[in-house]
Amino acid sequence: MEKTQFSIIPKALAASRTVVMVTE
């Protein structure tokens, strides 16, 4: 479970940054 969370979090952050760049 923990390994999955550590795997998903960076992907979520990367997706959020991409959305922010597109929004700006």
What confidence tens digit (pLDDT) does each residue in 1-24 have?
578 778 888 899 999 999 888 887
pLDDT value of residue 13: 93
Q: What is the DSSP string of 7-18?
A: HHHHHHHHHHHH
Amino acid at 19: V
The pLDDT score that the predictor gives to residue 4 is 79
How confident is the model at residue 1, as a pLDDT? 59
Identify the DSSP state of 2: H
Residue 6's pLDDT is what? 81
Question: In this structure, which amino acid lies at residue 20?
Answer: V
3-state secondary structure of 3: helix
